[in-house]
C-alpha cells in the first residue's frame, strides 16, 4: 500500500507529535504546527494519536492513492478533492485504489493534515517520524516531499480493516465514501481576519516599559512573510525594555514570545531552537498554539492575557475533551 506524490505542494512534510527527550542534546522537538488537528486526524482513522501524518501548508500536494485506504483530512481547508469531487474534512473517508487526492486554494487556516489508516511505514529517528528539515533527519528521507516520492503505508488492522471491507462491499462504484458524521472540528482563523490569541506573562514581562506592556495587549500584530515552522515573526509595535538586560541563554518553550533587540516579537513554534537568550515577554497558551499555527503570514493577531491557572485549566479541559472524543469515535468503528 502506498501514496505517490504527483505534485509536492509548497511545503509538505511528515510530522507527528514531535521528538521529545532529546532537547538536552540540542535536538529540536519538531512535530506538527497544529498538533490538535494532527491528533484528531489520527483518531478519525483509528491510528495512535501520535502517528505521523502529512502536514501541508498553503499550497497542498497532489497525491495518487495507490491502494484502497481510509484517510482523514483536518486543519485548514485547502480545498481537497478526490478525482475532482470535493472531499469533506474532519471525518473518515474511504478511498479506492487509483484515486487522485488533490489540494487547491486555501479557504481557511493555512495548514492541513492528512492521516492514513495504518500510518506511513517509516523508520523512527529518536522515537519520532517528524521531519527535522535543517538536520536532514526523520520523516521521509529527512526532507520535504518531492515529485515522484512514494510513501509506503502500513496495512490497517482490526475494526478499521473490517470497516474498509464493508465500504468496499456496499459502495463498489464510488471512488470515495465519506462518513456521514464529522468530529473535532476546531474554529479556524479566516484569511486575513484578526485572531485573538491567549497568553500568559513571560518571565521577563516586568522588564519591559509600561507602554510596551500595554501595547502588547492592546495593539494588533501582523504575522510577517519571514515566518516559518521555527517561529512567527511579528511586526506592528516595537516592544522596548526599560533598560538593557544582560541575559544568559536558557530554555525556551513552545509558544514563547521573545523580543530581540529590534523590538519585533517572535513566537517560537514547532521547529524552535532549544535555548535562547532574548527576553521573553509572553507565553502563548498551549491550547491556542494550534489556532496560531493556522494564522497565515499577512494576517494579524491580538494577544489577550490570561492567568497561568486559566491556561492550565484550558489545557486539561481540552485533553479531557480529546479523550472523550476518542472513546466516542472508537465506538463508531465497532
List residues binding other proteins (CB under 8 A): 20-28, 125-126, 134-135, 137, 200, 203, 248-256, 273-275, 280, 283-286, 308-309, 311-312, 315-316, 319-320
Q: For other proteins, which is the closer residue by CB, 177 or 306?
A: 306
Half-sphere exposure of 290 (CA within 13 A, CB side): 23
Q: Are 70 and 162 in contact (CB under 8 A)?
A: no
**Residue 205 CB partners (closer than 8 Å, separation 6+):** 213, 280, 281, 282
166 touches 86 (CB < 8 A) = no
For the bound state, the minimum distance from the C-beta of residue 200 to other proteins, rounded and expressed in Å, comes to: 6
Alpha-carbon distance 174 to 182, whole Å? 20
Considering the complex, state which of residue 39 and residue 296 has its C-beta at the smaller distance from other proteins: 39
Structural contact between residues 104 and 130, judged by C-beta atoms closer than 8 angstroms: no
Say how many C-beta atoms besides its own lie within 10 A of residue 181's C-beta. Answer: 11
CB of 40 to other proteins, least distance (A): 17
Q: How far is the CB of 260 from other proteins (least distance, A)?
A: 15
Distance of closest approach, residue 28 Cβ to other proteins, in angstroms:
8
Q: Which one, of 161, 160, 140, 176, lies nearest residue 52 by Cα?
A: 140
Cβ contact 65:101 at 8 Å: yes
Reported for 233-236, long-range contacts at CB under 8 A and 24+ positions apart, including other chains, are: 233/264, 233/265, 233/266, 234/264, 234/265, 234/266, 234/267, 234/301, 235/264, 236/300
Question: In angstroms, what is the minimal distance from the CB of 138 to other proteins?
Answer: 8
Q: Are 122 and 140 in contact (CB under 8 A)?
A: yes
Give whichever of 66 and 312 is closer to other proteins, judged by the CB atom: 312
Where would I find the H helices in 232-307? 289-293
Q: Which is nearer to other proteins, 81 or 274 (CB)?
A: 274
Please report how close the Cβ of residue 268 comes to other proteins at its closest, in angstroms: 11
Q: Which is nearer to other proteins, 103 or 132 (CB)?
A: 132
Q: Which residue lies nearer to other proteins by CB, 85 or 313?
A: 313
**Rounded least distance, CB 26 to other proteins, Å:** 4
Query: Shortest distance, CB of residue 114 to other proteins, whole angstroms?
Result: 26
> Which one, 20 or 166, has the nearer CB to other proteins?
20
- Cβ-in-10-Å burial (0-12, 13-18, 19+) of 307 comes to exposed
Nearer to other proteins by Cβ, of 30 and 69: the residue is 30
Amino acid at each position: 500500500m502506498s501514496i505517490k506524490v504527483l505534485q509536492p505542494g509548497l511545503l509538505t512534510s511528515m510530522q507527528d507529535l514531535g521528538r521529545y527527550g532529546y532537547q538536552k542534546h540540542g535536538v529540536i522537538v519538531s512535530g506538527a504546527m497544529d498538533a490538535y488537528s494532527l491528533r484528531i486526524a489520527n483518531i478519525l482513522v483509528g491510528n495512535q494519536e501520535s502517528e505521523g501524518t502529512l502536514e501541508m501548508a498553503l499550497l497542498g500536494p497532489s497525491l495518487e492513492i495507490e491502494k484502497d485506504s481510509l484517510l482523514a483530512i483536518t486543519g485548514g481547508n485547502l480545498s481537497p478533492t478526490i478525482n475532482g469531487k470535493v472531499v469533506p474534512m474532519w471525518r473518515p473517508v474511504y478511498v479506492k485504489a487509483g484515486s487522485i487526492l488533490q489540494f487547491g486554494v486555501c479557504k481557511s487556516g493555512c495548514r492541513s493534515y492528512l492521516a492514513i489508516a495504518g500510518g506511513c511505514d517509516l523508520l523512527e529517528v529518536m522515537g519520532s517520524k517528524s521531519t527535522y528539515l535543517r538536520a536532514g533527519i526523520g520523516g521521509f528521507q529527512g526532507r520535504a516531499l518531492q515529485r515522484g516520492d512514494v510513501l509506503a503505508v502500513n496495512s490497517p488492522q482490526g475494526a478499521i480493516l473490517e470497516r474498509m471491507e464493508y465500504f468496499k462491499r456496499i459502495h463498489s462504484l464510488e471512488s470515495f465514501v465519506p462518513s456521514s458524521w464529522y468530529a473535532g472540528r476546531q474554529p479556524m482563523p479566516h484569511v486575513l481576519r484578526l485572531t485573538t490569541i491567549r497568553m500568559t506573562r513571560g518571565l521577563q514581562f516586568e522588564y519591559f516599559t509600561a507602554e510596551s506592556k500595554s501595547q502588547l495587549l492592546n495593539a494588533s500584530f501582523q504575522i510577517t512573510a519571514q515566518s516559518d515552522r521555527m517561529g512567527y515573526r511579528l511586526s506592528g509595535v516595537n516592544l522596548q525594555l526599560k533598560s538593557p538586560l544582560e541575559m544568559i541563554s536558557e530554555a525556551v518553550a513552545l509558544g514563547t514570545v521573545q523580543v530581540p533587540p529590534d523590538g519585533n516579537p517572535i513566537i517560537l513554534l514547532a521547529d524552535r531552537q532549544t535555548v535562547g537568550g532574548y527576553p521573553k515577554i509572553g507565553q502563548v497558551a498551549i491550547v491556542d498554539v494550534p489556532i496560531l499555527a493556522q494564522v497565515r503570514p499577512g494576517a494579524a493577531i491580538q494577544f489577550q492575557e490570561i492567568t497561568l491557572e486559566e491556561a492550565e485549566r484550558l489545557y486539561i479541559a481540552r485533553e479531557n475533551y480529546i479523550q472523550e472524543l476518542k472513546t466516542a469515535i472508537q465506538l463508531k468503528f465497532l
